[in-house]
Amino acid sequence: MARLHLRPSTHADHQHRLIHITPESAGWHYVGFDLHRMTAGETVAAETGDRELCLVFLTGKGKVTVDGKDYGTLGERMSVFDGKPWSIYVPADAQWSITAETDLDIAACSAPGTAGSHPPRVIAPDSHDVMTRGKGNNIRYVTDIINETDPADGLLVVEVITPAGNASSYPPHKHDRDAFPEETQLEEVYYHRINPPQGFGFQRIYTDDRSLDVSMTIEDGDATLVPRGYHPCAALHGYDLYYLNVMAGPKRMWRFYNDPAHEWMLKA
């Protein structure tokens, strides 16, 4: 089984990557994720090949080109906890580059794509509203970046902020069966940030038969992989939890199944 908990590298590679997840390294078929960290003046450039990308400006500003077209400077916030993101969709068989104008963290979210099916497009912070989900200490704030109604081949991308002391992805749910409309099969990466950054939270990934049952301490900058099973998170007192979700699978639809043992709380 692939490692389900990845901490960022202390030394970036030639593409300024601190995290590099491919379908091959994850042991699955669809989702890829890279974290690029640059200082002002540094550039990342790459080709998408047979994959589509959503480049999410986590923090900082940068100048973007796709296939030679200048998309200007994107990015605004300096913390993932301070407003909604700028992003850009890049289709398969395209070339892209970003030159940092400030310190810059970019999340490159990817899934299989088809050349020519969708044009590049900037996804502005006002593209989707912030949604409040849950109640009590199960409240979290959700912002879609690419949802199933937006143009894309396979990607689903969303940001979630869970206030300190709250649970998230909770009651525990899963999406590992291709059984639409009850449930869809989606691989998922979580990229976590903590505020203040010295804090930590928890995530558990488990299946009904407990053939997979892993509990992890998540720290600022960690990534977790969810190949199957339920996957709740907990933000501890004093520390807000942010995560970026990247999902893809055979169907570009998010239909989840709650753990029956804990579904009672939705009706309480």
Predicted local distance difference test score (pLDDT) of residue 2: 74
Domains of the chain plus CATH, in order, are 10-266 (2.60.120.10)
pTM over 0.95? The answer is: yes
What whole-number distance in Å separates Cα of residue 210 and Cα of residue 11?
A: 36
Residue 268: is its pLDDT beyond 90? no
Mean pLDDT of 250-265: 96
Structure tokens belonging to residue 56: 């999410």
What whole-number distance in Å separates Cα of residue 157 and Cα of residue 194?
A: 19
Condensed to tens digits (0 to 9), the pLDDT of residues 99-122 reads 999 999 999 999 999 999 999 999
pLDDT bucket at 267, cuts 50 / 70 / 90: confident
Condensed to tens digits (0 to 9), the pLDDT of residues 161-202 reads 999 999 999 999 999 999 999 999 999 999 999 999 999 999
Torsion angle of alpha carbons 222, 3, 25, 144, nearest 10°? -40
Condensed to tens digits (0 to 9), the pLDDT of residues 28-66 reads 999 999 999 999 999 999 999 999 999 999 999 999 999
